[in-house]
Structure 1
Amino acid sequence: MARLGAVFFDLDDTLVLTHAATKIANDAVKAVLANRAPSSNADEVVSAFLEGFSSSPWDPVGQVDVTEWRARIWHVALQKWSVQDIELARDLQACFDRERMLAFQWAEGVEALVRELQNQGLKVGLITNGHTVVQRAKLEACKAQELFNVILVGGEEPREKPYKEIFLKACELAGCDPRESVMVGDNLSTDIQVV
Structure 2
Amino acid sequence: MDGKNVKGILFDLDNTLIETSRAGEVAIQKTSEHLKTTLGLDDSTISSICDKFKQKLLHESFDPSAGRSIDDVRVGHWEESIQETVGSSSSPCLAAQCYSLWKNSRLEALSLSPQICSLLKKLRSRYKLLLLTNGEAQTQREKVEAVRCEEFFDGIVIGGEHAEQKPFLSIFTTCFNMLGVEAQDCVMVGDSLDTDIQGGFNARVRATVWISNTGAVVPDGSVTPDYTIPTVLDLPHILEQLN
TM-score, structure 1 normalization: 0.92
Distance 1:103 1:57, change over 3 A: farther
Count of aligned residue pairs for this structure pair: 194
Give the gaps of 5 or more residues in structure 1. Answer: none
**Is the Cα contact below 8 Å between 1:70 and 1:93 reproduced in 2?**
yes
Structure 1 window deviating more from structure 2 (39-48 vs 131-140): it is: 39-48
AA matched with 1:15: L
CA distance in 2 between partners of 1:153 and 1:69 (Å)? 20
Contact 1:5 1:122 in 2 (8 A): yes
Report the identity percentage: 28
- Please, which runs of 5 or more residues in structure 2 have no aligned partner? 203-222, 224-243
How far off its partner does 1:127 sit? 0.1
Distance, in Å, in 1 between the alignment partners of 2:33 and 2:89 is 16
The question of 1:113 aligning with 2:131 is answered: no
Distance 1:158 1:61 in 2: 13
Q: Is the 8 A contact 1:124 1:150 kept in 2?
A: yes
Which consecutive aligned stretches of 4+ in structure 1 deviate over 6 angstroms post-superposition?
Answer: none
Q: 1: CA distance between counterparts of 2:108 and 2:8?
A: 30
Report Cα offsets for 1:96-124 as digits up to 9, x if no partner: 110000011124621111111112x2111
- Within 2, Cα distance between the matches of 1:172 and 1:3? 18
Higher-RCO chain (CA-CA 8 Å, sequence separation at least 6): 1
> Quick one: which amino acid aligns to residue 103 of structure 1?
A
SS state of the match for residue 40, structure 2? Answer: coil
SS at match of 1:109: helix
Question: RMSD of the TM alignment (CA)?
Answer: 1.8
Equivalent in 120, 123, 126 of residue 128 of structure 2: 123
Report the TM-score, using the length of structure 2 for normalisation: 0.75
Cα distance per residue 1:25-57 (max 9 Å; x no partner): 001101110121113622111011112222225
Matching residue of 1:45: 49
The answer to whether 1:136 aligns with 2:141 is yes
